[in-house]
């Protein structure tokens, strides 16, 4: 974080300062800000966030041992450190992030990109970060830091030398993207797609579209929005951009796109395509597995070009990416048995894309195996969407379907009803049971997809299988 005095931080957060030791209101701090006491280092600022399971106030002492110079708290604690007491530490975190970014923007050359969408945010963020890092100091979220805590923590990492800040904005209810993106008013906003992810929280896909449009509404006038030309709900956001004096750049596979993918070819080693950037055609071999990630690469490329990056250089950097993120189409195992661990997140769209990728990369003399768990936060569409995935798995002629967890049982029942025999589709209550079955069942030439939402925990099953067949 940039250096601020204790008095300045107290004023920005609306808190009351209690100095400790030799500290005064003019004492300046510039360490990293975090809510995890275990990673606080010398000069850091610890934010004591109350949680559902535990309370950050209990760990102020541990943060002090790690070197914390300041604690932002909702009540005073007895630990030996200067403290700022605020009514709400999460709101204080947001207020501090807004102030820090505004100060850096006022004195530097900071450009800000915001990314949202039902799927692909983290992959696109990582791709864009890779492209931009070669241009200048770039700050982007760790993992999926895209909520009311993670997004401000990312913003607070900027300094006067930061050239690019890439923010990932997630939401499970209306208004959240407005609040998060409103902290920084991005120069470039990227909307990837509107799908059924978190549909239960929004109340349906049309409400999801309205929520994702909030990013377009927060891009600063004179900025640019990058929209998916192939998604009608995203394309419908263009008039909102025009009303705000924001330019639109399109990505996709259709002729309307400014940055367009042509001639896709999917193999086990990645996807080959020709990228048309405003009429210039450039070949791209994307090593990140799955044709659906080409859209993410197009979005990252479009945003980078909007920021002035040469498209040939950007495509060269995209071609060097081997893994978008751990547990996202992560290839494990060996040439004998390939494990594709994609169990960090799963909406219906992402589940369908992963299954189709499995079918595309499996040769005729190899066997497809799909290990599938629950998709979270679908609300009243839960049974319907799980049933659709069961139908798709059978219709893709996947000869071995392993369904794990009670919440995914509708998927299993759907596959059975579609005509899959009992030895082709099996059900297990736990990942441990599925593991014991799979270590005996899998054989040379198998390509195995492990796919579920994060909450289902199958990513750890994927890790175990990867180790067993490495």
Mean pLDDT within 137-147: 88
Which residue is listed with tokens 């899998």? 442
Distance, in Å, from the CA atom of 210 to the CA atom of 20, rounded to the nearest integer, reads 47
Instruction: Choose between 329 and 213: higher pLDDT.
Output: 213
Residue 383: which H helix or E strand, with range?
helix 382-395
Mean pLDDT within 60-68: 97
Distance, in Å, from the CA atom of 204 to the CA atom of 192, rounded to the nearest integer, reads 18
Mean pLDDT within 461-465: 96
pLDDT bucket at 322, cuts 50 / 70 / 90: confident
pLDDT bucket at 422, cuts 50 / 70 / 90: low
Q: Please provide residue 370's backbone torsions phi and psi, each rounded to the nearest 5 degrees.
A: -115, 120
Q: How many CB atoms within 10 Å of residue 194? A: 26
Cβ proximity of 290 and 353 under 8 Å? yes
End-to-end CA distance of the chain: 42
Q: pLDDT (tens digit, 9 = 90+) per residue, 199-243?
A: 555 668 889 999 999 999 999 999 999 999 999 999 999 999 999
Cβ proximity of 428 and 456 under 8 Å? no
* Residues in a beta bridge with 225: 189, 248
Structure-token pair, residue 147: 């909520």
Tell me what the pLDDT averaged over the chain comes to.
94
Distance, in Å, from the CA atom of 274 to the CA atom of 280, rounded to the nearest integer, reads 10
The CA-based angle 211-376-351, given to 5 degrees, is 90
Answer whether residue 381 shows pLDDT above 60.
Answer: yes
pLDDT of residue 345: 82
pLDDT of residue 327: 79
Mean pLDDT within 164-175: 91
pLDDT bucket at 54, cuts 50 / 70 / 90: confident
Distance, in Å, from the CA atom of 274 to the CA atom of 260, rounded to the nearest integer, reads 8
Least confident of 90-104, 137-151, 177-191, 436-450: 137-151
Mean pLDDT within 69-76: 98
Residue 39: which H helix or E strand, with range?
none
What is the percent of the chain where pLDDT is above 70?
A: 98
pTM comes to 0.88
Distance, in Å, from the CA atom of 271 to the CA atom of 261, rounded to the nearest integer, reads 11
Distance, in Å, from the CA atom of 5 to the CA atom of 3, rounded to the nearest integer, reads 7
Mean pLDDT within 383-403: 95
Instruction: Choose between 377 and 81: higher pLDDT.
Output: 81
Please give the domain boundaries of the chain with CATH numbers for all domains: 4-87 (3.40.1390.10), 108-319 (3.40.1190.10), 330-468 (3.90.190.20)
pLDDT of residue 142: 83
Query: What is the four-CA torsion angle of 423, 424, 430, 434, rounded to 10 degrees?
Result: 90
The CA-based angle 405-408-412, given to 5 degrees, is 105
């Amino acid at each position: 974080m940039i250096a601020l005095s204790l008095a300045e931080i107290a004023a920005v957060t609306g808190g009351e300062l209690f100095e400790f030791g030799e500290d005064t209101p003019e004492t300046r701090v510039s360490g990293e800000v975090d809510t995890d006491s275990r990673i606080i280092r010398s000069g850091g600022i610890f934010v004591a966030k109350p949680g559902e399971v535990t309370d950050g106030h209990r760990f102020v002492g541990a943060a002090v041992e790690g070197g914390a110079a300041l604690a932002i708290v909702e009540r005073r604690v007895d630990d030996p450190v200067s403290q700022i007491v605020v009514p709400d530490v999460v709101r204080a975190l947001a207020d501090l992030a807004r102030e820090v970014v505004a100060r850096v923007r006022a004195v530097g050359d900071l450009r800000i990109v915001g990314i949202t969408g039902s799927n692909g945010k983290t992959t696109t963020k990582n791709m864009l970060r890779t492209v931009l890092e070669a241009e200048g100091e770039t700050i982007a979220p760790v993992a999926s830091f895209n909520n009311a805590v993670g997004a401000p923590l990312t913003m607070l990492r900027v300094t006067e030398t930061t050239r690019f800040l890439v923010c990932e904005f997630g939401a499970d209810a209306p208004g959240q993207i407005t609040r998060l993106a409103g902290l920084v008013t991005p120069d470039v906003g990227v909307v990837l797609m509107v799908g059924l992810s978190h549909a239960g929280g929004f109340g349906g896909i049309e409400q999801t579209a309205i929520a994702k449009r909030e990013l377009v509404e927060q891009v600063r006038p004179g900025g640019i929005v990058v929209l998916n030309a192939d998604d009608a709900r995203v394309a419908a956001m263009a008039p909102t951009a025009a009303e705000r004096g924001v330019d639109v750049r399109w990505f996709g596979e259709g002729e309307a796109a400014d940055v367009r993918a042509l001639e896709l070819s999917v193999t086990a080693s990645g996807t080959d395509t020709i990228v048309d950037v405003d009429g210039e055609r450039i070949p791209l071999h994307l090593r990140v597995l799955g044709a659906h990630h080409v859209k993410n690469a197009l979005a990252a490329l479009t945003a980078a070009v909007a920021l002035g990056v040469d498209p040939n250089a950007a495509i060269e950097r995209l071609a060097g990416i081997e893994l978008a993120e751990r547990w996202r189409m992560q290839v494990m195992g060996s040439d004998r048995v390939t494990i594709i661990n994609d169990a960090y997140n799963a909406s219906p769209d992402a589940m369908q894309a992963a299954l189709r990728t499995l079918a595309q990369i499996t040769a005729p003399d190899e066997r497809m195996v799909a290990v599938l768990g629950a998709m979270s936060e679908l609300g009243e569409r839960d049974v319907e969407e799980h049933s659709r995935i069961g139908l798709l798995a059978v219709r893709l002629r996947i000869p071995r379907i392993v369904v794990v967890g009670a919440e995914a049982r509708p998927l299993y029942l759907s596959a059975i009803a579609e005509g899959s025999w009992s030895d082709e589709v099996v059900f297990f209550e736990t990942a441990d049971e599925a593991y014991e079955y799979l270590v005996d069942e899998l054989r040379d030439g198998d390509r195995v997809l492990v796919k579920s939402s994060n909450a289902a925990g199958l990513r750890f099953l994927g890790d175990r299988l990867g180790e067993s067949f490495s």
